[in-house]
Amino acid sequence: MFKSLRKQDYILTLLIFILIIIGIISIYSTGQSYEGTRQMVFALIGVIVYFIISSIDYKIYKDKKIQFIIYAIIFSLLALIFILHIRLNNTHRWFVIGKIDIQPSEFAKIVIILVSASFFEVFRKTENTIKKIGLGFLTIMPIVYLIYKQPALGNTIIILIIWLSIVFASYYDQKKFIYIALIFLMSSLLILPFIGINFFNTNLNLIFFNVNIFLLLLILGIIIFLYKKASKNIYTYLILFTIIIGILFGSLFKFVVWDHLLKNYQKNRLIGFLNQSSKLNSTINFQTEQSKIAIGSGGVWGKGYLEGTQSRLNFLPEDTTDFIFATIFEEFGLIGAIIFLTIYLLFLYRIISILGQTKGRYETLVVVGILTMIMIQFIINVGMNIGLVPVTGITLPLISYGGSSLLTILVSLGIIQNIHIQRKNY
């Protein structure tokens, strides 16, 4: 079985090892030797799992019975946390078994990828697009709902983005998909200021409101124009329908999601992010402010390994998880950060290269899902460290502390390696 590993992508494996080592070194540098030791143990287990998964034929995951079993296991674990009222850090995210914390929502990402790739493997032009996408969404909805209720808004968003990437990659007319998505997004955003969501300070809200008056009038004109021309082109019906659904979705977001589903701290993070220049920056955006201080104090060459004051003196919150990039920047400076980002981008490029060589439809969708999972977490984590993205509690894959996160990524990469190996066998 392990003979096939000789055909693996050795460069990808080497980059994985390098990133894991960087992560462990960075965790130790914060003074958290206990967490650093645990991460080393997780890494050893994860590497073994990585090679085992790499040697198992990925086609086994296409089996409907296997998919049903792993889906049922993850759903049951997510539900069991609520049933048993297991709370840790005021959330229902982890199973605590002795000194081991297991976070099922991380493993749920793999399940969503495998199940969705199988569901959208065949997407025919003759099919009802709305029905197909709707059924696909209903398939993942039970797991998404339980993750949201933990609450884990960050992971919920990640899973939805992963799912959308698979839908996009499977759709037969991707340009039309992009146009529809943009029209839907624009329509949803335009309605928000008119129904009482004020993200910005007073002056910015006034400008935003005035701009939206013009845009709303413009979009109403487009609706009237499309309605009159609808009889000449069937696609105008689709655009008109998309605009209406977008406005309804924006309204639903305000009266359901914003008013009832989002927690106050989640609203404050978004409002604080959009008002970073105001006094909110020192209260709501405390984490981001400390991260920027750590990055700025690193300078060009950094303070040196084990010399990061922001992390070692506990000024930087979540320095081994959410803000580990700031830890790296503080100690190794701009030069170190550039080297780290270069290694990470080479790692992502290697996955993209495997994607480019993948021929099967199912295989392509699986690699797209995994690539999206890693890439979007990388972008969000680095983005929130430098203040370009709201704080969402998303870890940096292979780098941040966390056994469940590390194992999830290594299992996913093992699947990608096997897809690469199986391609070379033919």
- Which of 14-18, 47-51, 284-288, 305-309 has the least mean pLDDT? 284-288
Question: d(Cα 99, Cα 324) in Å, to the nearest integer?
Answer: 23
Q: How many domains does the chain have?
A: 1
Q: Is the pLDDT of residue 4 over 90?
A: no
Q: Which two tokens stand for residue 229?
A: 């021309």
- Position 70 scores a pLDDT of 94
Reported as a pLDDT band with limits 50, 70 and 90, residue 391 is confident
From the CB of residue 3, how many other CB atoms can be counted at a distance below 10 Å?
7
- Position 218 scores a pLDDT of 60
- Position 75 scores a pLDDT of 94
The closest of 125, 112, 32 to 74, measured between CA atoms, is: 112
Reported as a pLDDT band with limits 50, 70 and 90, residue 1 is low
Q: Estimate the crossing angle of helix 403-425 against helix 33-54, to 10 degrees.
A: 20
C-alpha dist (Å) from residue 414 to 10, 57, 221, 296, 346: 12, 10, 52, 37, 18
Q: pLDDT tens, 281-299?
A: 555 667 777 888 888 887 8
- Report the pLDDT averaged over residues 263-281: 62
Cβ neighbours of residue 170 closer than 8 Å, sequence gap 6 or more: 120, 121, 123, 361, 365
Supply the pTM of this predicted model.
0.84
Question: d(Cα 146, Cα 126) in Å, to the nearest integer?
Answer: 34
Question: d(Cα 150, Cα 92) in Å, to the nearest integer?
Answer: 5
| Full residue range of the structural domain in which residue 133 is found | 2-425
Residue corresponding to tokens 């080592």: 21
Q: Estimate the crossing angle of helix 10-29 against helix 324-357, to 10 degrees.
A: 170
- Report the pLDDT averaged over residues 135-144: 93
